[in-house]
């Protein structure tokens, strides 16, 4: 598989994730939060912070997807091992950790207003686990790209 084909497949993956995120963050989560607030007899003022946290998480997700799109573009141009890719992966790591913290904050807020439903607990734990895994994977890849860039630079200087 050449770099252009790999970049195309990765960009297709980003596009599919973006479409799925749009469905989840624009339709599913707002409806779920609204139903949960109604079920527990809470007011719109108590729902608003959860909706804002959800919108913030969506924004962070799309920033990370944009950074990954840029990495895919550089891979397609045969620049897989460069400082920009390592920096982009480090930013994705930070964004994943921040998104995980927002999820934890949302769960703590739901606990504070006494609407922490078991489904919300499981969903929150799943999201926090995924965020942690993405952060670890992105940081590991950033480290490996940095090492590969150093090796590539040394090989270019020897030739």
**pLDDT value of residue 137:** 97
Q: Mean pLDDT over all residues of the chain?
A: 93
Q: CA-based angle 61:67:68, to the nearest 5?
A: 90
Q: pLDDT tens across 107-141, in order?
A: 999 989 988 878 888 988 999 999 999 999 999 99
Q: What is the mean pLDDT of residues 3-29?
A: 95
Q: CA-based angle 5:154:67, to the nearest 5?
A: 40
For CA atoms 4, 5, 6, 7, the dihedral sign is positive
Q: Determine the straight-line distance between the first and last CA of the chain, rounded to whole angstroms.
A: 26
**pLDDT top residue among 47 and 89:** 89
* 159 confidence band (pLDDT: 50, 70, 90): low
* 90 confidence band (pLDDT: 50, 70, 90): very high
**pLDDT value of residue 120:** 81
């Amino acid at each position: 598989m050449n770099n252009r084909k790999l970049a195309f497949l990765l960009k297709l993956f980003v596009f599919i994730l973006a479409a799925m995120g749009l469905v989840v963050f624009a339709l599913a989560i707002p409806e779920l939060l609204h139903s949960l607030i109604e079920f527990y007899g809470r007011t719109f003022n108590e729902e608003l912070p959860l909706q804002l946290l959800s919108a913030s998480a969506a924004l962070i997700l799309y920033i990370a997807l944009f950074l990954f799109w840029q990495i895919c573009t550089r891979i397609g141009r045969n620049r897989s091992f460069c400082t920009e890719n390592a920096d982009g992966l480090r930013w994705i790591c930070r964004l994943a950790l921040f998104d995980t913290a927002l999820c934890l904050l949302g769960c703590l807020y739901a606990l504070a207003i006494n609407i922490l439903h078991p489904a919300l607990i499981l969903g929150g734990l799943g999201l926090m686990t995924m965020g942690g895994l993405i952060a670890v994977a992105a940081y590991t890849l950033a480290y490996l790209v940095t090492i590969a860039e150093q090796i590539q630079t040394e090989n270019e200087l020897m030739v």
